[in-house]
Structure 1
Amino acid sequence: MTPGARVAAAISVLDAVRAGEAAEKALTGWARGARYAGSKDRAAVRDHVFDVLRRWRSCAALGGGDDGRHLMIGAMRSEGIDPHTVFTGDGHAPTALTEPERAGGHVPVGLDALDLPDWLWPHFETSLGASAEGAAEMLRHRAPVMLRVNLRRGTVADAQAQLASEGIDTTTADIAKSALQAISGERKIAGSVAYAEGLVELQDGSSQAAMEALQITKGARVLDYCAGGGGKVLALAARADAAWYAHDIAPQRMNDLPARAKRAGVEVTRLETGAIARAEPFDLVLCDAPCSGSGTWRRSPEAKWRLTPERLEDLTQIQYEILARTAPRVSDGGCLAYATCSVFKQENEAVVARFLQEHPSWRLGQQRTWPISGAGDGFCLAQLVRG
């Protein structure tokens, strides 16, 4: 595909997203109908779409409209590319710019420049204070590709050497002991020997750091209550010999966990909801609760445009209920760990404060937040203990 054809494809996907279709579904639908598109073409179209999703308002301002065509005009301008050179009408490229399109658009200001919905900005200001604008700016750009070295399989140096031999260059990251940041060859990771043999896993730096902050004693019984794909329980399991359990309210999310655990060299028992009581008590229960994901919007930028005030309020209730439901599963002297990938106090400190107020036998042990950074997403971890 030519550069123009890739832009035309991105326009069609963005129009589908604008009409309410999920971005991933829209991309899959386009790819199925474009058998001629190679892997590099699909990657390029995806990059166009996600770059616009991160910067929807500023692209709309620069392009003079918020349909797919004007968004891509704005995206070209934001990258210093004259859209006239891409919108040529030749072959499968978008039709040439009209005179109004050439003259349209303006430099984004205010929340257009920060690429946030109006209603969300007060949450950023309240939660992040002077760093709110910096966080919003970071969310406008791609997230780093971070790897966790599985120390059961080898050292950080071993992983770097193996990855380098496969054309993947990395650098160590201070955010976590086993963290690497890919600096080239990122698209080769999933097909690498290092990944296939469990030496490395894709995992954000802040998530790695949070799992390192949790104390694990040998022989402990540990439950990852909102496990999803199991990345966090695997990170914990790489550190100690213990009994590992995983649960998710949607068990299908854990379908890949057995294969991932085998690759990592650990055993994780999946528990249906009804089986948790038979396996308790646990020395550590990790609740990586459903949240706005505001700390991860570089990776899932569509979410910041889909989130509503009502959904955010619903999430805080779900988060509290998860803590209340899991607290009885923790053994005396054990830890209830509450985590979110949100930067909002409403989902972090406020939820923890409500839980402690309504459960006076518990106290806050430690709480830490990680800002959105060059090596990690926004993340919060609170460790709750009895007494």
Structure 2
Amino acid sequence: MTPAARIASAIEILDRVLAGHPAEQSLLRWSRASRFAGSGDRAAVRDLVFEALRRRNSLAALGGGCDGRRLMIGMLRDGDTDPDTVFTGMGHAPAALSDAERHQGVDSPPVIDLPEWILPFWRESLGEEADRIAALMGQRAPVWLRVNGRKSSVEQALAALADDGVEAKADDRLEGALQVTSGERRIARSGAYLEGLVELQDLSPQMACAALPLKSGDRVLDYCAGGGGKALALACRQGGLKIDAHDADPGRMQDIPARAARAGVSIRLTDRVAGKYQLVVADVPCSGSGTWRRSPDAKWRLDEKNLDNLTATQSQILDSCSKFVAPAGHLAYMTCSLLDEENDRQIAAFLSRNDRFSLISRQLWTPVTASDGFFLALLQRNP
């Protein structure tokens, strides 16, 4: 595919996403219908789509409107490329620009790439860092790996990755955290990944898992396990744990057995939680506002009603999973959100109705201090 044909494909996909369809689903639909597109073409089109969604407002301002065509016009202008050189109407290129399109949006000022309704929540939650973090959310997210200390040292993992064309570097903020610098699309086929030496996990949740109290023999419950990332991180960090993984939708946990086997650890899946645990981890459903540069279409689908529903669900989960914490045990409440409504206010409300728990610590990681936005509140049940 030519660069112009890739942009034409991105326009088609963006129009579908902007109509309300998930980005991943729309990309998959296009890929299946476009057998002529090679792996490089698919990757390039994906990058165009996600870049446009990350910076939808600012590119719409530059392009003169918020549809796939004008977002691509805005992206070209932002990169100092004359859209007339791409929008030629020749071959598989997008149709030529109209006179109106040539003059729309060229002098528009920069804007914040967030839904307008969420700005008060965002700024109240993040204070002086709000606009800086919003700007960082418009950039592509780095890829992070977690070294499995059960199977490898950092040096061995780096060497094994390099053998398969994946370059990475250690991060001094957390032992075992690797930032990928090139070859990220080779990770899933690399020997280091397939043999369980490394696992994909962002730096911020890695830091959260490293902050949790653990000792051999502890019973640990990953209450909203999903794909099992937190359970795997804990199992690889401390031997002798008895880890149960639970999710309201058991289908979300289908990959955990294979991932655990690859990592060389044991995680038991359960749909009925019973007994008491020394540590309960609740990485609850949330807005995902801390991960919007990875799934940028999600921020444009979220509305205030969705946020209200999410906070109600979070409250219910806190009340439910707290019943499984043993006396003197810990409850780790986690979100990949940057919003106070889902974080500190949620914890304050829980503590106001439950005097059996005390707040031990809380931490909010952002793209300024770590990588994704991620929140951890560590609570302890009174003996």
Q: Would the TM-score normalized by the shorter structure come out above 0.5?
A: yes
| Match 1:135 to one of 109, 133, 136 | 133
Aligned to 2:186: 188
Deviation at 1:174, TM superposition (A): 2.8
Equivalence map 1:105-124=2 (5 Å) = 105-109=105-109, 113-124=111-122
Other structure's SS at 2:187 match: helix
Deviation at 1:346, TM superposition (A): 1.0
Indicate the percent of aligned positions where both proteins have the same amino acid.
Answer: 52
Aligned to 1:312: 307
1:30 aligns with 2:25: no
Deviation at 1:54, TM superposition (A): 0.3
Aligned to 1:364: 359
Q: Does the 8 Å CA contact 2:332/2:379 hold for their aligned counterparts?
A: yes
- Inter-CA distance 375–169: structure 2 relative to 1 (3 Å threshold): farther
Aligned to 1:256: 255
1:205 aligns with 2:200: no
Aligned to 1:322: 317
* C-alpha distance in structure 1 between counterparts of 2:86 and 2:369, whole Å: 32
Q: Does the 8 Å CA contact 1:146/1:375 hold for their aligned counterparts?
A: no
Deviates more, 1:165-174 or 1:192-201: 165-174
Equivalence map 1:227-242=2 (5 Å) = 227-241=225-239, 242=241
Deviation at 1:108, TM superposition (A): 4.4
Aligned to 2:150: 152
Q: Does the 8 Å CA contact 2:281/2:331 hold for their aligned counterparts?
A: yes
- Structure 1 runs of 4+ aligned residues shifted over 6 Å read none
Letter in 1 for 2:255: D
Deviation at 1:101, TM superposition (A): 1.3
1:380 aligns with 2:375: yes
| Match 2:331 to one of 336, 340, 343 | 336
Deviation at 1:81, TM superposition (A): 2.0
Other structure's SS at 2:57 match: helix
Deviation at 1:107, TM superposition (A): 4.3
* C-alpha distance in structure 2 between counterparts of 1:33 and 1:144, whole Å: 30
Other structure's SS at 2:150 match: coil
Other structure's SS at 2:341 match: coil
1:192-241 CA-to-partner distances (Å, cap 9, x unmatched) read 00000011111100000000000111011101001110011101111112
Aligned to 2:87: 87
Aligned to 1:276: 273
* C-alpha distance in structure 2 between counterparts of 1:108 and 1:240, whole Å: 54
* C-alpha distance in structure 2 between counterparts of 1:120 and 1:174, whole Å: 34
- Inter-CA distance 120–106: structure 2 relative to 1 (3 Å threshold): farther
Other structure's SS at 2:215 match: coil
Could you list the runs of 5+ residues in structure 2 that have no partner in the other structure?
none
Other structure's SS at 1:95 match: coil
Aligned to 2:213: 215
* C-alpha distance in structure 1 between counterparts of 2:132 and 2:40, whole Å: 32
Aligned to 1:175: 173
Q: Does the 8 Å CA contact 2:325/2:381 hold for their aligned counterparts?
A: no
Deviation at 1:50, TM superposition (A): 0.4
1:302-346 CA-to-partner distances (Å, cap 9, x unmatched) read 111111111111111111111100111111111011001111111
Deviation at 1:373, TM superposition (A): 3.3
Other structure's SS at 2:294 match: coil
* C-alpha distance in structure 2 between counterparts of 1:184 and 1:107, whole Å: 35
Could you list the runs of 5+ residues in structure 1 that have no partner in the other structure?
none
1:84-138 CA-to-partner distances (Å, cap 9, x unmatched) read 22112221111122221112113444xx621111111111111110000001001
* C-alpha distance in structure 1 between counterparts of 2:86 and 2:138, whole Å: 23
Aligned to 2:41: 41
Q: Does the 8 Å CA contact 1:206/1:377 hold for their aligned counterparts?
A: yes
1:4-36 CA-to-partner distances (Å, cap 9, x unmatched) read 111010000011112221111111111111011
Q: Does the 8 Å CA contact 2:56/2:113 hold for their aligned counterparts?
A: yes
Letter in 2 for 1:276: V
Deviation at 1:375, TM superposition (A): 4.5
Letter in 2 for 1:24: E
Aligned to 1:50: 50
Deviation at 1:176, TM superposition (A): 2.0
* C-alpha distance in structure 2 between counterparts of 1:49 and 1:69, whole Å: 11
- CA-atom RMSD, angstroms? 1.2
* C-alpha distance in structure 1 between counterparts of 2:308 and 2:137, whole Å: 22
1:49-87 CA-to-partner distances (Å, cap 9, x unmatched) read 000110111111111111111111111112222222211
Aligned to 2:294: 299
Deviation at 1:172, TM superposition (A): 1.1
Deviation at 1:177, TM superposition (A): 1.5
Other structure's SS at 1:346 match: helix
Deviation at 1:175, TM superposition (A): 3.3
Deviation at 1:374, TM superposition (A): 7.4
